[in-house]
Amino acid sequence: MSSSGLSVVLAIILYLVGSAFGGNPGEPGPGVPVSGEVTASRATVRAGPGTSFPPVTVVEASTPVRITGRQGDWYRVELSGGLAGWM
């Protein structure tokens, strides 16, 4: 993961996670915020949970996201308009 990608992921994690994710992999646990916004100036949303997956889109700061899953250090997000990917 590039340093800018890592910064984006860390910014989102710090903003969104008030407690640890639990339950099954790919599913947020109870009591965890699942909505937020991108705090980095730009973030790449990818087709899968890793830098080897192609970009789906690039989002700007303050873009609203909804976290719908997790795999390792990657979070599956939905954007307005139904577009989804991994950050």
At 17-59, the pLDDT tens digits run 444 444 455 555 554 558 889 999 999 999 999 999 999 999 9
Contact between residue 67 and residue 38 where contact means Cβ atoms under 8 Å apart? no
* Chain-centre distance for alpha carbon 7: 12
Average pLDDT over residues 72-80: 91
Q: pTM above the 0.85 mark?
A: no
Structure tokens at 79: 């954007």
Q: Does 10 score more than 60 pLDDT?
A: no
SS3 49: coil
Q: Whole-angstrom Cα distance, residue 50 to residue 36?
A: 21
Greatest CA separation for the chain:
32
What pLDDT score was predicted for residue 69? 86
SS3 15: helix
